[in-house]
Structure 1
Amino acid sequence: MFLGTHNPKLDDKGRLTLPAKFRDALAGGLMVTKGQDHCLYVFPRAEFEQMARKVAEAPFTNEAVRAYQRYLFAGTDEQRPDSQGRVTIVPELRRYAGLSKECVVIGAITRLEIWDSSAWQTYLEDNEENYAKAREEVLPGMF
């Protein structure tokens, strides 16, 4: 399970050091893809393959399904962390997420999300009030 917030830096070669506590879960390979809200999603390879099977089962005769499949799979890069836990974020994905040197990696249970640090702060500020409302929708009657 991926949890927490971390602040690695993107180096001049486009490499990002993954938080040490996640490296074992990602040692077998990972998939970096365009996420929602202009962040990047990082899935363990097995988790991504499971999701990809579900996406592939959707009827490709549906225009929205084809568009989603194209967007998801064309924007995915397979990586294997090096001995220092670094992965290279390809230029297209860096551009999509607007990544600068300062990044934020958050755990989102089944995936990591990579955000530009200033974009993450803006997202938090813009959505803070929605958190309580979302909790009520996601977990009604729990709290």
Structure 2
Amino acid sequence: MPVFLGTHTPRLDDKGRLTLPAKYRDELRGGMMITKGQDHCLYVFPREEFERLARKVAEAPFTNESVRAYQRYLFAGTDEQHPDSQGRIPITAELRRYAGLTKDCVVIGAVSRLEIWDATAWQSYQERHEENYAQAQEEVLPGMF
């Protein structure tokens, strides 16, 4: 499984395409799935990782209303893409709308996936959550530090 790390600041072109950072292109060459993430960003999964996630989501009991809603939202909003020779991927109008993407974007590595944020939204998110970072560390990694 690839490990995605780092922060990059590509721009959307006039056709709604985003140039992926070069360091991620090999891991995504076999295809990627772009879907609505939490906090109004987009998640970009390598196809294999998304298929793992999809199997797990599909195993949840569809008799549960919340499960059905989550499955519908996740799968209906997913778009499969392959980067072109310059590493560009088109972002659908619906996904751009959901994430509020304008010209300036931020792509962050989030270990198993990339996240695409509007640059202003990412800055606001960081400002709102920066103070909680130390507390979250204790919750995620209790006793490690």
Q: TM-score range by the shorter chain?
A: over 0.9
Aligned pairs for 1:39-58 (under 5 A) are 39-58=41-60
Distance 1:52 1:17 in 2: 26
Report the TM-score when normalising by structure 1: 0.99
Distance 1:83 1:70 in 2: 32
Match of 2:71 in 1: 69
Match of 2:115 in 1: 113
TM superposition shift of 1:128: 0.4
The partner residue of 1:103 within 105, 113, 138 is: 105
Distance 2:20 2:101 in 1: 15
The partner residue of 1:131 within 118, 122, 133 is: 133
TM superposition shift of 1:78: 0.3
Equivalent residues, number: 143
Distance 1:128 1:9 in 2: 25
One-letter code aligned to 1:58: A
Report the TM-score when normalising by structure 2: 0.98
TM superposition shift of 1:50: 0.5
Q: How large is the Cα RMSD of the aligned pairs?
A: 0.3
TM superposition shift of 1:82: 0.4
Per-residue CA deviations over 1:99-132 (Å, capped at 9, x if unaligned) read 0000000000000000000000000000001100
TM superposition shift of 1:138: 0.1
One-letter code aligned to 1:123: Y
Distance 2:82 2:12 in 1: 17
Structure 2 unaligned segments of length 5 or more: list them. none
Q: 1:142 and 2:144 equivalent?
A: yes
Distance 1:40 1:16 in 2: 12
The partner residue of 1:31 within 30, 33, 36 is: 33
TM superposition shift of 1:85: 0.5
Match of 2:8 in 1: 6
TM superposition shift of 1:60: 0.5
Distance 2:16 2:136 in 1: 34
Per-residue CA deviations over 1:13-68 (Å, capped at 9, x if unaligned) read 00000000000000000000000000000000000000000000111011010000
One-letter code aligned to 1:140: P
